[in-house]
A and B are shown apart, each in its own frame.
Chain A
Amino acid sequence: MPFARLYPQWVTFLLRVAGRDTCHRPERPRTHPVRQPGPGEPNRSPEDPGGRNDGGVDVTVDSSAVAPSAPGGVPTSGDEPQLVQLLTPEGERVEHPEYSIDLTPEELRGLYRDMVLTRRFDAEATSLQRQGELGLWASLLGQEAAQIGSGRALRNDDYVFPTYREHGVAWCRGVDPLNLLGMFRGVNHGGWDPNSNNFHLYTIVIGSQTLHATGYAMGVAKDGADSAVIAYFGDGASSQGDVAEAFTFSAVYNAPVVFFCQNNQWAISEPTEKQSRVPIYQRAAGFGFPGVRVDGNDVLAVLAVTRAALEHARSGNGPMLVEAFTYRMAPHTTSDDSTRYRADSELADWEKKDPIARLAAHLTRAGHADDDFFAAVEAESDQLAKRVREGVRQMPDPDTMAIFENVYADGHALVDEERAQFAEYLASFVEGH
Chain B
Amino acid sequence: MAQMTIVKALNEALRDSMDSDPKVLVMGEDVGKLGGVFRVTDGLQKDFGEDRVIDTPLAESGIVGTAVGLALRGYRPVVEIQFDGFVFPAYDQIVTQLAKMHARSLGKVKLPVVVRIPFAGGIGAVEHHSESPEALFAHVAGLKCVSPSNPADAYWMLRQAIAGDDPVIFFEPKRRYWDKGEVHKDGVPQDLHRARVAREGTDLTLAAYGPMVKVCLEAAEAAAGEGRSLEVVDLRTLSPVDFDTLQKSVEKTRRLVVVHEAPVFLGTGAEIAARITERCFYHLEAPVLRVGGFHAPYPPSRLEEEYLPGLDRVLDSVDRALAF
- Per-residue interface assignment for chain A, residues 188 to 204, with 1 indicating a CB less than 8 Å from any chain B CB and 0 otherwise: 11000000000000001
Asked if B302 and A425 make an inter-chain contact with CB atoms under 8 angstroms apart, the answer reads no
B107 vs chain A, min Cβ distance (A): 6
**Most chain B beta-carbon neighbours within 10 Å: one of A241, A336, A402, A412:** A241
Which B residues are CB-close (under 8 A) to A10? 287, 324
Q: With A21-B282, A183-B127 as given contacts, are A237 and B58 in contact (CB-CB < 8 Å)?
A: yes
The segment from B181-189, B208-216, B292-300 that touches chain A is B292-300
Closest residue on chain A to residue B265 by CB atoms: A414
- Per-residue interface assignment for chain B, residues 53 to 70, with 1 indicating a CB less than 8 Å from any chain A CB and 0 otherwise: 001111101100000000
Q: With A1-B319, A407-B296, A425-B316 as given contacts, are A65 and B51 in contact (CB-CB < 8 Å)?
A: yes
Asked if A4 and B320 make an inter-chain contact with CB atoms under 8 angstroms apart, the answer reads yes
Asked if A241 and B303 make an inter-chain contact with CB atoms under 8 angstroms apart, the answer reads no
Asked if A412 and B30 make an inter-chain contact with CB atoms under 8 angstroms apart, the answer reads no
What CA separation (Å) do A270 and B53 show in the bound complex? 13
A-B contact count (CB 8 A): 172
Closest residue on chain B to residue A183 by CB atoms: B126
Asked if A240 and B58 make an inter-chain contact with CB atoms under 8 angstroms apart, the answer reads yes
Which of A23, A240, A270, A335 touches B55 (beta carbons < 8 Å)? A270
Interface check B110, CB cutoff 8 A:
yes
Considering only residues 12-66 of chain A, those with a C-beta below 8 Å from chain B are: 14, 17, 20-21, 23, 50-53, 55-59, 61, 64-65
Asked if A55 and B76 make an inter-chain contact with CB atoms under 8 angstroms apart, the answer reads yes
Asked if A4 and B323 make an inter-chain contact with CB atoms under 8 angstroms apart, the answer reads yes
Closest residue on chain A to residue B82 by CB atoms: A268
Interface check A317, CB cutoff 8 A:
no
What CA separation (Å) do A20 and B128 show in the bound complex? 48
Chain B contact surface mostly = loop
Asked if B30 and A189 make an inter-chain contact with CB atoms under 8 angstroms apart, the answer reads no
B79 vs chain A, min Cβ distance (A): 15
- Per-residue interface assignment for chain A, residues 218 to 243, with 1 indicating a CB less than 8 Å from any chain B CB and 0 otherwise: 00000000000000000011011110
Asked if B73 and A56 make an inter-chain contact with CB atoms under 8 angstroms apart, the answer reads yes
What CA separation (Å) do A425 and B315 show in the bound complex? 12
Which of A11, A183, A275, A402 touches B58 (beta carbons < 8 Å)? A275
Count, chain B residues at interface, CB 8 A: 64
Which A residues are CB-close (under 8 A) to B59? 239-241
- Per-residue interface assignment for chain B, residues 37 to 53, with 1 indicating a CB less than 8 Å from any chain A CB and 0 otherwise: 10000000000001100
Asked if B320 and A404 make an inter-chain contact with CB atoms under 8 angstroms apart, the answer reads no
Considering only residues 72-109 of chain B, those with a C-beta below 8 Å from chain A are: 72-76, 85-86, 88-89, 107, 109
Q: With A56-B74, A189-B297 as given contacts, are A397 and B302 in contact (CB-CB < 8 Å)?
A: yes
A18 vs chain B, min Cβ distance (A): 9
Interface check B307, CB cutoff 8 A:
yes
Considering only residues 103-134 of chain B, those with a C-beta below 8 Å from chain A are: 107, 109-110, 112, 124-128
Interface check B172, CB cutoff 8 A:
no
Asked if B73 and A59 make an inter-chain contact with CB atoms under 8 angstroms apart, the answer reads yes
What CA separation (Å) do A425 and B306 show in the bound complex? 12
Which of A274, A340, A418 touches B35 (beta carbons < 8 Å)? A340
Asked if A402 and B299 make an inter-chain contact with CB atoms under 8 angstroms apart, the answer reads yes
Q: With A68-B50, A206-B58 as given contacts, are A184 and B112 in contact (CB-CB < 8 Å)?
A: no
What CA separation (Å) do A206 and B57 show in the bound complex? 12
Q: With A187-B302, A403-B294, A414-B295 as given contacts, are A50 and B107 in contact (CB-CB < 8 Å)?
A: yes
Asked if A135 and B124 make an inter-chain contact with CB atoms under 8 angstroms apart, the answer reads yes
Which A residues are CB-close (under 8 A) to B34? 268-269, 340-341
What CA separation (Å) do A189 and B128 show in the bound complex? 10
Interface check A357, CB cutoff 8 A:
no
Which A residues are CB-close (under 8 A) to B112? 55-56
- Per-residue interface assignment for chain B, residues 209 to 240, with 1 indicating a CB less than 8 Å from any chain A CB and 0 otherwise: 00000000000000000000000000000000
Interface check A186, CB cutoff 8 A:
yes
User: Which residues of B are in contact with A by a Cβ distance under 8 Å?
Assistant: 21-23, 29-30, 32-35, 37, 50-51, 55-59, 61-62, 71-76, 85-86, 88-89, 107, 109-110, 112, 124-128, 165, 265, 281-282, 284-287, 294-297, 299-303, 306-307, 312-313, 316, 319-320, 323-324
Q: Which 7 A-B pairs have the closest CB atoms?
A: A186-B301, A269-B34, A239-B57, A236-B58, A56-B74, A186-B302, A341-B33
User: Which residues of A are in contact with B by a Cβ distance under 8 Å?
Assistant: 1, 3-4, 7, 10-11, 14, 17, 20-21, 23, 50-53, 55-59, 61, 64-65, 68, 135-136, 182-189, 204-207, 236-237, 239-242, 267-270, 274-275, 335-336, 340-341, 397-398, 400, 402-404, 407, 412, 414-415, 418, 422, 425, 428-429
Q: List 9 A-B contacts (CB under 8 A).
A: A182-B300, A205-B86, A239-B59, A240-B59, A267-B29, A403-B299, A403-B303, A407-B295, A425-B316
Known: A4-B324, A398-B299. 4 other contacts (CB 8 A): A51-B110, A53-B165, A135-B126, A239-B57
